[in-house]
Structure 1
Amino acid sequence: MGTRLGELVERFGGQLAGSPDVEVTAIASLERAGASEISFLSNSRLRTLALQSRAAALILSPQDDDAVAAGYAGARIVTANPHAYFAQAAQYLVRASEEPAAGGIHPTAVVHGTASVDPTACIGPHVTVEAGATIGAHAVIDAGCYIGRDAVIGDHTHLFANVSFHARCVIGARGIIHAGAVIGGDGFGFAVDDGVYIKIPQVGRVLIGDDVDIGASTTVDRGALDDTVIEDGVKLDNQIQIGHNCRIGAHTAMAGCVGVAGSAVIGRYCTFGGAAMVNGHIDICDHVDITAGTLVAHSIREPGRYTGYYPITRNAEWERNAALLRNLPALRDKIRALERALKALGGSED
């Protein structure tokens, strides 16, 4: 079944140039789109590809529309943010083409008698739902998931296969947790007595807001005493570690392999490139962008883009630079001694 362009414009806005009755079934790239598909142009350098595209329609900006309108035969949806419009349209087309999951509990699932499972929720094979847990309307819990005691899964939230969602943790509506993620495992908390580590019970929860995406094999530790909090709209990529008692502000996004140590507080609308590392017990304000591979060792109080790594170079050059860096303290001491000597002679430090 197709979706009319007029229906997309009614739902998501934009200005349509062409027939509203043109039907599209999917979104595809400019190169591969066919006569029943819609594509998008968000990079002006790809205008040539847009002109050559066989797509039934294009999503593009007013500036790009001025450049390609005369040479492109298909319909066009003109919008200020083609990339965002593409994402919304893609979601809609995917939902339209999918069969909705039928509500019900698979015969192999184990659901405690005191758990509350909405009749429209789908509980897959070999799922375990512990006592007192709540599964909301139209939630989908795929095969092999574990839902702990008194945990709460919000409406329309989807847990992919083998997710572990531990006791008393909460996720809001429309969340997505990908396969193998662990929510609410113990935080890394120990006291030391004469060289021996003594485990500190982790009795807090993980509280996750609405519209949060969590990638495959990502781990979010429960709080030691207070809760670990992931606010609305946060997007976490694969293989990310969020330590206990952290707070991640709304609409912050982290790329793969980011590590956040315990009790870090991160503001809203921040971004973290892949493999960035954040020390524990520090604060990062709203609207901070951390580039890939950066170690954030101290609190950040002002919005902006921050980088903290040495650029890659040939190994021999890196070794020379490392030797220079090791000798910098001695060189600093020599310069200070020379400055003092000059001052004693009546000279100028300049």
Structure 2
Amino acid sequence: MKQERKQYTLVDLTKGLEATIQGDPHCLIEGVCTIQEGLPQHIAFLMNPLYKKYLSATNASAVIITSEDAHECQTNAVICRDPYYIYTQIAAFFDDKPKRLPGIHESAVIGDHCHIDPSVSIGANAVIGDDVTLAAHVVIGPGCVVSEHSEIGENSRLEANVTLYHKVLIGKNVLIASGTVVGSDGFGIAKHKGVWHKVPQLGGVIIEDDVEIGANCSIDRGAINDTVIEQGAKLDNLIQLGHNVRIGKHTAIAGCVGVSGSTTIGSNCLIGGQSGFAGHLTITDNVVITGGTEVTKSIRDPGIYSSGVGGLVTNRERRKNTARLHRLDHLVERVKTLERALSELTERKTT
């Protein structure tokens, strides 16, 4: 059955936000769109200058823009300093993610001595182990497994088929997407007389408040101490964190990143996709790692870093070296020419 779309005025959408309205404040909005798509009764935003060419001709009923671009807007405008942030707040009005009602599905399995708030929602075929604590408004999706002695804080949500091993502690307002496994054993093995022996992984996993973890990630439990993801960190899909890794506050990690065991990444870092970190490293706060970088040594100074010739270098060094590599063939020919000239000069002197 098709749901009737809700409509909001620009006044409704911007209430409490640091934004002003240029045009009709009572313009009705029923959804969001891209600026190039430009749908009537929808609101778009302009952040990337590559899309500025669409601003003057867009058919969107309103656009979220900065004051610098407002004079080029031919439709209603929401003027602010940070259009992308304001867009996140407005887009939340139109989020149609299904709401999970409180209750426990009849097919769910609940262990002994659990503490489950009455407002919790537990989906079909979920399994909750013994001595688990689920705080108010927690959502456990279908097919999830929450193992023994784990705790989940208020307003946190596990999408379908998330697995938490034993002794995983999750804070408030945490979102974990489908297929992610938290608390599996880290890769700890010791070789004795030619045979590998498993090292018991005795630590746990702590995920602090406001963390988001994408789909199909693997967060290993600590070997001795805990693996920790600090408050506000954001992880994309397909990320592997080894045992005893610590991710700092408000660090964002793009997809397909691997962080080897006992590496610490500081706060407010940005990690590009397909990057890899060796083990036992320390990355300071406010570091940017560009996509595809091999991080093989600790980083003590904030800045932008990339893989380069000879290992990890600053992004500026990498760009300079890349430019030189493009001239390598030309430089080789120049060296050959100089060698011939030197040889001819030497022959003249000897004769």
Q: TM-score, with normalisation over the residues of structure 2?
A: 0.84
Q: Tell me whether 225-234 or 48-57 shows the greater mean CA deviation.
A: 48-57
User: 2:279 aligns to what?
Assistant: 280
User: 2:81 aligns to what?
Assistant: 80
In the alignment, does 2:38 pair up with 1:33? yes
Once the two structures are TM-superposed, the CA of residue 284 in structure 1 deviates from its matched residue by 0.4
User: 2:248 aligns to what?
Assistant: 249
Question: What is the CA deviation profile of residues 40-74 of structure 1, one whole-angstrom value per residue up to 9, with x for unaligned ones?
Answer: 011234233122111121100111113x14xx1x3
1: CA distance between counterparts of 2:22 and 2:247?
Answer: 42
Question: What is the CA deviation profile of residues 76-95 of structure 1, one whole-angstrom value per residue up to 9, with x for unaligned ones?
Answer: 1101111121122212331x
1: CA distance between counterparts of 2:40 and 2:102?
Answer: 35
User: 1:343 aligns to what?
Assistant: none
Once the two structures are TM-superposed, the CA of residue 4 in structure 1 deviates from its matched residue by 2.2
User: 1:270 aligns to what?
Assistant: 269
Once the two structures are TM-superposed, the CA of residue 22 in structure 1 deviates from its matched residue by 2.1
Amino acid in the other structure paired with 2:147: G
Query: Where in structure 2 are the equivalents of 1:32-111 lying within 5 Å?
Result: 32-66=37-71, 68-69=72-73, 72=74, 74-94=75-95, 97-98=96-97, 100-111=99-110
2: CA distance between counterparts of 1:257 and 1:98?
Answer: 26
Question: What is the CA deviation profile of residues 136-177 of structure 1, one whole-angstrom value per residue up to 9, with x for unaligned ones?
Answer: 222211111000111111222121111101111111112111
In the alignment, does 2:3 pair up with 1:4? no
Once the two structures are TM-superposed, the CA of residue 117 in structure 1 deviates from its matched residue by 1.8
Change in CA separation of 1:173 and 1:297 when aligned onto 2, cut-off 3 Å: same
Amino acid in the other structure paired with 1:20: P
Once the two structures are TM-superposed, the CA of residue 309 in structure 1 deviates from its matched residue by 4.1
User: 1:214 aligns to what?
Assistant: 213
Q: Tell me whether 85-94 or 167-176 shows the greater mean CA deviation.
A: 85-94
Unmatched runs of 5 consecutive residues or more in structure 1: 312-316, 325-350
* Contact 2:147-2:167 within 8 A present in 1 as well: yes
Change in CA separation of 1:286 and 1:188 when aligned onto 2, cut-off 3 Å: same
* Contact 1:44-1:64 within 8 A present in 2 as well: no
% of aligned pairs identical?
37
Amino acid in the other structure paired with 1:86: Y
How many residues were matched structurally?
310
Once the two structures are TM-superposed, the CA of residue 103 in structure 1 deviates from its matched residue by 0.7
In the alignment, does 2:136 pair up with 1:137? yes
Amino acid in the other structure paired with 2:93: Y
User: 1:186 aligns to what?
Assistant: 185
SS of equivalent to 2:125: coil
User: 2:203 aligns to what?
Assistant: 204
Q: TM-score, with normalisation over the residues of structure 1?
A: 0.84
2: CA distance between counterparts of 1:4 and 1:134?
Answer: 41
Coordinate RMSD, CA, aligned: 2.0
* Contact 1:293-1:309 within 8 A present in 2 as well: no
Question: What is the CA deviation profile of residues 194-226 of structure 1, one whole-angstrom value per residue up to 9, with x for unaligned ones?
Answer: 121221111111101111111111001000111
Unmatched runs of 5 consecutive residues or more in structure 2: 1-5, 310-317, 319-324, 333-351
Once the two structures are TM-superposed, the CA of residue 25 in structure 1 deviates from its matched residue by 2.0
1: CA distance between counterparts of 2:197 and 2:106?
Answer: 42
Question: What is the CA deviation profile of residues 232-260 of structure 1, one whole-angstrom value per residue up to 9, with x for unaligned ones?
Answer: 11111111110000110011111111110
* Contact 1:27-1:33 within 8 A present in 2 as well: no
1: CA distance between counterparts of 2:127 and 2:159?
Answer: 14
